[in-house]
Structure 1
Amino acid sequence: MKTVVITGGNKGIGLETIKQLSKKGLFVYVGSRDIEKGNAIVKELTGNGFKNLKAIEIDVTKLDTILFAKHLIEKEQGHLDILINNAGISGIVPQSALETNIDHFKEVFEVNFYGVVGVTQAFINLLRKSPQPRIVNISTSVGSLSLQSNPSWPAYEYAKYTVYASSKSAMNMYTVQLAYELRDTAFKVNAVCPGYTKTDFTNYKGGEVKAAGKCIIKYALIDQNGPTGKFFSEESNPHTGEIPW
C-alpha cells in the first residue's frame, strides 16, 4: 500500500484529494496545522466509509511539527511514497508591488515557499526509500512568468495577487531545481495548478473541487515513463496540460 503525506489536508482541494486517494487504496496522512481539525476530518471521513487515513500535525512554518511528523511516519511506515505540498495562503488582497508592506510578503513566502522547502527537505530521506517516489508541489498559473507577462492571457489583470503569485513563482523555481538534482533517480517532481476552484480560497467561485483533486492525483501517481520537472495546468492547457514557467 502506497503512503502519502499531504499538507493543508483538512479542507478545500486538499480534502478532496485525500478522499480520492483513499478510494484508490492509498494510506494518507492528513497534514493539518491544527491537529484537532485534522482528527475531526478523519473521524468524519471514516464515518462516511473512507479508509486508511490518519491526521498528523504539520504546520509548515514550524520545523518542530514537520520533524515530529517525519519521525512518526518513519516509525509507522518506514518510508514515504508521495509528498503533496498543498498548504498555502493567498494573503490579503488586493496586493500591490509598490504598496504592500514587506512583512506581508514575508508572511506569505513563509508558508508558500519556505514551507515547501522545509517539508521537502525533512521528508526526502523517507521518499528515497520508496521505489517510485513522487513530489507534487501545488502551484497556480498566475505564478507563471510567461503567462502573467502576456497581455493576451485571460488572467493578465490578476496583478492584484502580486504577493501570492511571487511566492508561487519562487516555489516553481524550487521545483525545477529539485527535479534537476533528482534527475538520475526514480523521483518524479512536478508543479501542478489544480485550477480556479470552488473553495473558501476563492470565495467558492470557479470549477468543481473533484476535478481539481483528480488533476493532482494524476501527477502524484504517474509511472516511471511520466514527466518530471514540469509545470501543469489542465485548465490553462486542456490539450497536453503543460504550461510555461
Structure 2
Amino acid sequence: MASSTVVFISGAGRGIGRSLAEAYLSRPNHTVVGSVRDPTSANAQEIKAFPAAEGSRFLLVKIESSSFSDPAAAVKEAEAAGVDHIDVLIANAGGAGGSISPLDKVTPQDVTDVFNINALGPLALYQAAKPLLDKSKAPKFLGISSAVGSIGNMENFRAHVAPAYGIAKAGLNWISVAAHSGNKEYISFVVHPGLVQTDGGNRAAKGMGLPQAPHTKKQSTDAILALLDNATREKTSGKFFDAIAGTEIPW
C-alpha cells in the first residue's frame, strides 16, 4: 500500500468525478477512493465494476455533501481498508441548487443550502483527509470550482445571474488558497472544468441558448489530469485555472 498512489475523489458517482475515477483506475498501482451519496445504488455498483489496471483498486465510500460528518466516516472507512496516506484529494462533489435567481430575488436559505454543499462540504472533506494528506510525499488538493465563482470576471461571465452558486464557489476558492498558504508542502489549486456535457452542464448550456455544453467529459477530464500531473508549488499552487484553456482565471 505504501507505494500505491492514492487518489480520493468526492462525487465519483457521476459527471466529471466518475470520469476522473475511471481515468485514475486505468493507471497502474493506483488506489482510488470514490465517494457517492448511496453506495447501494445501481450507479455505485457500476463504478465498482470499472476495470482496473495492474495493482490498482477502487474503494467506494459514502459522502452526502450536505453532511459534515460523512467525510470523517469515509476517511476512517478508507483507513480500515488499508489506506495510510492520500496523494491527491479532489473536492469534486457539488451542485448548483435550484433555478437561477437574480441577486434581488435569491433567498438566504438558497444561498445557505448551496454554500453548505459547495464550500463547507469540501472544507469538511479537507479537514477529515488532512492527516492522510500530510503523510504523502507530494500532497495535492484540487477543488473543482466554476468560472461563476470568479469575482474579477463576474461581469464578463455574466455570473451575477447565479448568486448562490457563485458565492459558494468563491468560498471554495478561498478555502483552496488558504490550504496553499497554510501548508508549504502542498500543491493546492482550483479549476473551472469547462462547460461540460454533464446533466448540470447541459442544463446551463440550454439556459444560454446552446443545444448542449461544448466540452465532453473526456476533454475536461484529460485537461484536469494534465494540470494535476504537471502541477508544481511555484507555477500551479494557489491559483485558479480554466482547465480547457489552460489559462488563469482572476479571483
Equivalent residue, structure 2, for 1:202:
201
Which residue number corresponds to residue 2 of structure 1? 5
Q: Given that residues 5 and 82 in structure 1 are in contact (C-alpha distance below 8 angstroms), is that contact kept between their aligned partners in structure 2?
A: yes
5+ long unaligned stretches in structure 1: none
Would the alpha carbon gap of residues 23 and 46 (structure 1) be closer, same or farther in structure 2, given more than 3 Å must change?
closer
Confirm or deny: 8 A CA contact 1:10 1:32 kept in the other structure.
yes
User: 1:40 maps to what in 2?
Assistant: 45
Contact 1:138–1:191 (Cα < 8 Å) also in 2: yes
Question: CA offset at residue 243 of structure 1?
Answer: 1.6
SS at match of 1:54: strand
**Aligned position for 2:188:** 189
* TM-score, normalising length: structure 2: 0.86
Mapping 1:64-103, distance limit 5 Å: 64-75=69-80, 76-103=82-109
Please list every run of 5 or more consecutive structure 2 residues that lacks an aligned counterpart in the other structure. 203-211
Q: Secondary structure at the match of 1:100?
A: coil
Of 213, 218, 226, the residue aligned with 2:226 is 218
3-state SS of 1:45 partner: coil
In 1, the alpha carbon distance for the partners of 2:52 and 2:78 equals 23
Instruction: Give the C-alpha shift of residue 61 in structure 1.
Output: 2.3
Deviation at 1:51, TM superposition (A): 5.2
Off by >6 Å, runs of 4+ in structure 1: 47-50
- Of 88-97 and 187-196, the range deviating more from structure 2: 88-97
Residue 132 (structure 1) aligns with: 138
Query: Helix, strand or coil for the counterpart of 1:56?
Result: strand
After superposition, the Cα gap between the structure-2 partners of 1:148 and 1:80, relative to the gap in structure 1 and judged at 3 Å, is same
Deviation string 1:191-234 (CA, Å, 9 cap, x unpaired) is 01110000011235231110111122223333556521010004
What secondary structure does 2:90 align onto? strand
Corresponding residue for residue 166 of structure 1: 167
Counterpart Cα distance in 2 of 1:77 and 1:177: 26
1:98 deviation in Å? 1.2
Larger deviation, residues 50-59 vs 68-77: 50-59
- Report the Cα distance in structure 2 between the residues aligned to 1:111 and 1:53, rounded to whole angstroms: 24
Say what the alpha-carbon RMSD is for the aligned residues: 2.2
**Percent identical across equivalent pairs?**
24
Q: How many residues align?
A: 235
Question: Secondary structure at 2:237's aligned position in 1?
Answer: coil
State the secondary structure of the residue aligned to 2:247.
coil
**Greater relative contact order: 1 or 2 (C-alpha under 8 angstroms, separation 6 or more)?**
1
Letter in 1 for 2:50: L
Structure 2: how far apart are the matches of 1:91 and 1:181?
31
2:178 aligns to what? 177
1:60: Cα distance to partner? Answer: 2.8
- For residue 27 of structure 2, the aligned residue among 24, 27, 49 is 24
User: What's 2:150 paired with?
Assistant: 144
